[in-house]
C-alpha cells in the first residue's frame, strides 16, 4: 500500500503544524521578488541601497529554493539547512545595509568595499541555492522524476516508542558539554563536547514533538535552563542560546493552530529579556574572558557583576557603541564570506595545498597527538588574516565553505564546492532514510546531525574539516542510537490507511 510520504519532522496529524503550511505556500511571489529586486539593483549605482536590493533579491531566491526543497525533495532536508542559513544571512545583511544608510558602519572599511561589488555578494549569498537546484534536477533525472508516494513505515515519528528515549538521552549527553569545557585538552574533553555539537538540532525535534512525551519535554526544558545559567556564568553564548532558540522554533512549528499564536506571543515576550541577557554575556566575555564551568563561584559572579558595573563610556569602542539591533544583525552575518567575495580577484589562491589541507583536516589531534601550528590552536581559519580579520586562539572567525572555496578559485570554485557538498548531504540522507526506514525517530535524529553540519559547521569551517567533523558526529550519533536500540524495543510495524 502506498501512503503519502511525511516529512520526518512533521508534527501530529490531529493538530496541523506549520510545516504543512510551508509546504503549501506558493513559490512564485518569492521568485518575482528576486527578479524585481535584481532588476532594481542593476539600475542602482553602487551604494547601500544597491547592496540592500541585491540582498533582497538573494532572499527571494533562497526562500523559493527552501520552499521547493521542503515540498518536493524528500532527501533534501539536510540540504535545507544550508539554504536556510543563507536565507537568514540575506535578511541580516539587508538590515546591515539600513545601518549603513544611517551611518553606523562608517568605521568598517570592508562594508564600503562590499557596496562597490554588490553582485559578487549576491553570488556568495545564493551559490548554495544554485548548487541545490542543480543537484535536485540531477537527482530527479536519475530517479525518473519526483515520486510523491513511497512505501513507508506504519508508525509516525510521534508514535515511535523510541522517540522519548532518544530525546532524553540526547538531552543528557548535551549537558556533558559543560563537563567537557571544565577539563584540560584531552580525549575526554573532546568526546564530551562533541555530544552537544552533534545534537545541535535535536532540540528542534524535541520542540516540534513537545506533546509526544511530557517526560522528554520536561527534560529538555530543564537542560535548556541549565545551559542558560551556566552559559551566563561562563560567557559562552552559543551553547546557551542555540539549543533554546531551536527548541522555541520547534514548539512554534509543532503547535496546534488554536494555541500557536499564544505560544508565539510567549516566545516574543521571552526574547526581550533574553536579548538583554545576551548583551550581558557579551560584556562578560569582553571584560572577564571565558570562564570554565568548574570555575564558577561566588567570587567569579562578583567579578562579572563588577565588570558590568565598571564598563564606562570611555571604554566603549565603535562596535560597542552600535545600537542593539545593529549588533544583533552583525552577529548573524558571516562577514568573511562576503568580504572574500568582494576582495578576491584573479589570480586566486589555487589548489596547490589542497592535499595538505585534507590530511591536516583528517587528523584528529586529540587521538593522534600529532599537532602543527594550526591544528594545535585549531586555527583552520588563518587565511582570513589576509582579508583583514584578527585570527588567534582567542577569536572565532568563520571561514567556511563559500569563503574558503571562493578564495581558492573564485565563484566557479565556490559553485563546485557547493555542488559536491549538496550531493554528499543528499546522498547521506538517502542512505540514512533507507537504513532506518522502519525507525523514524532514529532517522530524524541522524538527519538532524546532517542538518547541524549544513546549517552550522559548513558556515564556520572549510569543507574537508567540516566533513571530518560530520563523520565524527555521525559516529557519536550511532553510539546514542545503539544505546536506545539495546534498551528500548522498536514500535510494532503496522500499515496505516492511505493518505
Q: What is the pLDDT of residue 21?
A: 80
CA distance 276 to 228: 13
> In Å, how far are 159, 216, 298, 491 from 154, measured between CA atoms?
10, 23, 54, 9
CA distance 131 to 62: 11
Q: Which of 43, 31, 63 is nearest to 119 (CA)?
A: 43
pLDDT band for position 331 (cuts 50, 70, 90): confident
CA distance 336 to 54: 18
- Sequence-distant (≥ 6) Cβ neighbours of residue 383 within 8 angstroms: 349, 399, 404, 407
Q: Among residues of the chain, what percentage have pLDDT more than 90? A: 43
Q: How many residues does the chain have?
A: 499
CA distance 225 to 247: 12
> In Å, how far are 131, 135, 178 from 426, measured between CA atoms?
12, 9, 32
Residue 132: all three cell numbers together: 541545490
| DSSP secondary structure letters along 429-490 | HHHHHHHTTT-HHHHHHHHHHHHHIIIIIHHHS-HHHHHHHHHHHHHHHHHHHHHHHHHSPP
Contact call for residues 414 and 405 (beta carbons, < 8 A): yes
Greatest mean pLDDT range, 213-217, 256-260, 295-299? 213-217
- Sequence-distant (≥ 6) Cβ neighbours of residue 259 within 8 angstroms: none
Contact call for residues 415 and 353 (beta carbons, < 8 A): no
Per-residue pLDDT reduced to its tens digit, 400-452:
999 999 999 999 999 999 999 999 999 999 999 999 988 899 999 999 999 99
Q: What is the pLDDT of residue 16?
A: 59
pLDDT band for position 194 (cuts 50, 70, 90): confident
CA distance 55 to 337: 14
Q: What is the pLDDT of residue 3?
A: 36
Output the CA angle 237-247-327, nearest 5 degrees: 35
CA distance 469 to 465: 6
149 beta partners: 4
- Sequence-distant (≥ 6) Cβ neighbours of residue 18 within 8 angstroms: 252, 253, 254, 255, 260
Three-class SS state of 149: strand
CA distance 467 to 474: 10
pLDDT band for position 289 (cuts 50, 70, 90): low
CA distance 287 to 319: 14
| DSSP secondary structure letters along 4-36 | E---TT---TTS--HHHHHHHS-SHHHHHHHHH
Per-residue pLDDT reduced to its tens digit, 56-65:
999 999 999 9
pLDDT value at 286 more than 60: no
CA distance 406 to 465: 16
pLDDT band for position 150 (cuts 50, 70, 90): very low
Mean local confidence (pLDDT), 317-325: 77
Of the ranges 96-110, 275-289, 324-338, which one carries the lowest mean pLDDT score?
275-289
Contact call for residues 80 and 135 (beta carbons, < 8 A): no
Instruction: Report H helices in 310-400.
Output: 324-332, 335-343, 354-362, 365-368, 373-377
* Cell 547592496 -> residue: 51
DSSP designation for 491: P
Give 95 or 259, the one with higher predicted confidence.
95
pLDDT value at 396 more than 80: no
Contact call for residues 187 and 465 (beta carbons, < 8 A): no
Per-residue pLDDT reduced to its tens digit, 151-171:
333 357 877 888 899 999 888
pLDDT value at 338 more than 90: yes
- Average pLDDT in the chain: 81
Q: What is the pLDDT of residue 109?
A: 86
Contact call for residues 63 and 413 (beta carbons, < 8 A): no
Residue 87: all three cell numbers together: 536565507
pLDDT band for position 50 (cuts 50, 70, 90): very high
**Run of H or E including 3:** strand 3-4
| DSSP secondary structure letters along 255-281 | S-HHHHHHHHHHHHHHHHHHHHHHHHH
Q: Which of 457, 450, 426 is nearest to 133 (CA)?
A: 426
Amino acid at each position: 500500500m502506498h501512503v503519502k510520504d511525511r516529512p520526518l519532522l512533521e508534527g501530529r496529524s490531529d493538530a496541523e503544524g506549520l510545516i504543512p503550511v510551508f509546504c503549501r505556500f506558493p513559490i512564485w511571489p518569492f521568485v518575482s521578488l528576486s527578479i524585481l529586486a535584481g532588476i532594481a539593483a542593476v539600475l542602482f549605482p553602487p551604494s547601500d541601497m544597491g547592496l540592500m536590493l541585491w540582498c533582497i533579491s538573494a532572499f527571494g531566491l533562497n526562500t523559493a529554493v527552501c520552499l521547493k526543497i521542503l515540498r518536493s525533495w524528500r532527501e533534501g532536508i539536510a540540504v535545507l539547512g544550508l539554504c536556510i542559513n543563507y536565507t537568514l544571512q540575506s535578511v541580516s545583511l539587508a538590515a546591515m545595509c539600513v545601518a549603513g544608510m544611517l551611518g553606523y558602519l562608517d568605521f568598517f572599511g570592508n562594508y564600503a568595499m562590499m557596496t562597490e561589488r554588490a553582485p559578487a555578494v549576491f553570488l556568495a549569498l545564493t551559490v548554495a541555492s544554485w548548487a541545490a537546484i542543480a543537484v535536485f534536477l540531477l537527482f530527479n533525472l536519475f530517479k525518473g522524476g519526483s515520486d510523491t508516494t513511497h512505501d513507508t513505515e506504519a508508525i509516525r515519528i510521534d508514535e515511535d516508542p523510541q522517540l522519548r528515549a532518544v530525546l532524553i538521552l540526547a538531552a543528557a549527553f548535551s549537558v556533558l558539554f559543560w563537563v567537557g569545557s571544565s577539563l584540560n585538552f584531552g580525549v575526554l574533553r573532546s568526546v564530551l563536547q562533541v555530544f552537544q555539537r552533534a545534537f545541535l538540532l535535536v532540540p528542534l525535534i524535541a520542540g516540534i514533538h513537545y506533546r509526544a512525551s511530557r517526560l522528554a519535554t520536561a527534560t529538555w526544558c530543564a537542560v535548556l535552563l541549565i545551559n542558560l545559567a551556566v552559559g551566563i556564568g561562563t560567557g559562552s553564548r552559543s551553547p546557551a542560546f542555540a539549543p533554546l532558540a531551536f527548541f522555541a522554533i520547534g514548539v512554534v512549528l509543532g503547535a496546534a493552530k488554536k494555541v500557536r499564536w499564544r505560544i508565539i506571543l510567549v516566545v516574543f515576550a521571552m526574547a526581550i529579556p533574553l536579548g538583554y541577557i545576551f548583551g550581558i554575556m557579551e560584556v562578560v566575555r569582553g571584560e572577564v574572558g571565558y570562564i570554565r564551568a568548574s570555575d564558577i563561584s561566588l567570587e567569579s559572579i562578583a567579578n562579572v557583576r563588577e565588570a558590568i558595573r565598571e564598563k564606562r563610556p570611555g571604554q566603549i569602542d565603535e562596535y560597542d557603541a552600535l545600537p542593539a539591533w545593529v549588533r544583533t544583525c552583525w552577529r548573524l552575518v558571516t562577514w568573511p564570506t562576503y568580504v572574500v567575495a568582494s576582495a578576491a580577484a584573479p589570480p586566486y589562491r589555487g589548489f596547490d595545498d589542497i592535499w595538505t589541507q585534507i590530511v591536516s583536516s583528517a587528523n584528529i589531534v586529540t587521538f593522534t597527538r600529532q599537532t602543527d601550528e594550526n591544528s594545535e590552536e585549531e586555527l583552520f581559519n588563518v587565511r582570513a588574516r589576509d582579508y583583514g580579520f584578527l585570527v588567534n586562539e582567542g577569536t572565532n572567525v568563520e571561514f567556511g565553505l563559500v569563503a574558503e572555496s571562493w578564495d581558492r578559485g573564485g565563484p566557479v570554485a565556490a559553485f563546485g564546492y557547493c555542488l559536491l557538498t549538496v550531493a554528499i548531504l543528499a546522498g547521506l540522507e538517502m542512505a540514512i532514510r533507507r537504513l532506518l526506514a522502519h525507525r523514524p525517530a532514529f532517522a530524524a535524529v541522524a538527519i538532524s546531525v546532517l542538518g547541524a553540519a549544513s546549517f552550522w559547521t559548513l558556515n564556520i569551517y572549510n569543507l574537508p574539516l567540516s566533513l571530518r567533523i560530520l563523520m565524527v558526529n555521525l559516529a557519536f550519533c550511532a553510539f546514542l542510537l545503539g544505546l536506545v536500540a539495546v534498551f528500548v524495543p522498536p514500535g510494532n510495524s503496522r500499515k496505516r490507511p492511505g493518505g
